Amino acid sequence: MTQRTSNASPTGNNGGALPRQRRTYTIGELSKMFEVTPRTIRFYEQEGLLAPERRGQTRIYHEKDRVRLKLTLRGKRLGFSLAEIREVVEMYDAMPDGNTRQLERLLEILADKRANLERQLEDIRLMQRELDDVEARAREVLTRLGAQPPAT
């Protein structure tokens, strides 16, 4: 009843060329798809990370918006602030007519984020070793207690 899933029929089909896959999404669909609340999505819009179409009063999201939300959430999982993410997003949008200084600034930011990712990679490796150690010790204690250590 609720699930419309793959049913395409968008309300207004343009009489001309059909654009490949004209799928659109409501805020609720995206919300469930990415397991965030509608409030979160609206908040991201308010922060300049999304700019969905409006049909009357209701928001309509296209593929582009969905991708951007996906990237935003990925950035968040990596610990970037919304402000940082927006900075890149805005410059990306302004790229075609961006001046040289803007573009070089963008490259700076990108290099910065790259460095960040590298450090995170190293952190992850180190953290994994720590987890190995802790787990090994835990299992050791468990066996000493005579319990069956659960298989990994």
Contact partners, residue 54, CB within 8 Å, separation at least 6: 60
**If binding means CB under 7 A, how many residues of this protein chain bind DNA?**
22
**Chain centroid, CA 83 distance in Å:** 14
**Of residues 83 and 103, the one with the C-beta less far from a copy of itself:** 103
Q: Which does 67 bind (CB under 5 to 8 A by kind): a copy of itself, DNA, none?
A: none
Q: Which does 141 bind (CB under 5 to 8 A by kind): DNA, a copy of itself, none?
A: a copy of itself
Cβ 102 to DNA shortest distance, Å? 22
Please report where in the chains the tokens 């309300």 appear, as a residue: 11
Are the C-beta atoms of 24 and 60 separated by less than 8 Å? Answer: yes
Q: Is 16 near DNA (CB under 7 A)?
A: no
Out of 22, 23, 29, 71, name the contact with DNA by CB under 7 A.
29
Q: From CA 125, how far away is CA 102, in angstroms rounded?
A: 35
Using CB under 7 A as the binding rule, whether residue 31 contacts DNA is answered as yes
- CB-wise, 27 or 50, nearer to a copy of itself? 50
**Choice from 10, 19, 33, 58 touching DNA (CB under 7 A):** 58
Q: How far apart are CA 135 and CA 139, in angstroms?
A: 6
Residue 56 interaction partner, one of DNA, a copy of itself, none, beta carbon < 5-8 Å per kind: DNA
Q: Is 30 exposed, middle or buried (0-12, 13-18, 19+ CB in 10 A)?
A: buried
